[in-house]
Amino acid sequence: MELVAQFLHAIFRRQRDKTAASHCICLVAGAAAAAGDATGLGQEAGLDELIAYAEPRLAEPDMQRQKEIYQLVGQAYFERGDYEKALQYLEYYAERSGRLRAEEFYQLGYTQYQTGQYEKAIRSFTEVSGQD
């Protein structure tokens, strides 16, 4: 997982392009899950390692890509099926982002639905249906 940690460091310290950073976040989450599978520990173990690395970085005052780390941690909890924990991170990201992509609205809406926040989920899913 050291390679994933180095990759995360490069993304959040040096990445200036929001779209590229967002795509990298998805790749890192997938890589962490695959790393867990490849080591025989299972997908959840890779996500656990990702969370263990990224979550403490949220308290670092000089973190340049804090909202993207919130998104990454939220996505990892989402992939684990821990929607209660995912919600706070995904909402933080959504509240501080300009425009969300359809995939981000879907993930947020699904998480809101799973946590019983049906009105919010409807709004998020409506955004998904309004995008091409």
pLDDT tens-place string over residues 85-125: 999 999 999 999 988 999 999 999 999 999 999 999 999 99
pLDDT band at residue 31 under the 50/70/90 scheme: low
Close Cβ partners of 65 (under 8 Å, ≥ 6 residues apart): 11, 12, 13, 15, 21
pLDDT at 51 over 50: yes
pLDDT tens-place string over residues 54-93: 888 888 888 778 888 899 899 999 999 999 999 999 999 9
pLDDT tens-place string over residues 8-26: 655 555 444 544 444 455 5
Q: Helical H runs in 15-42?
A: 18-38
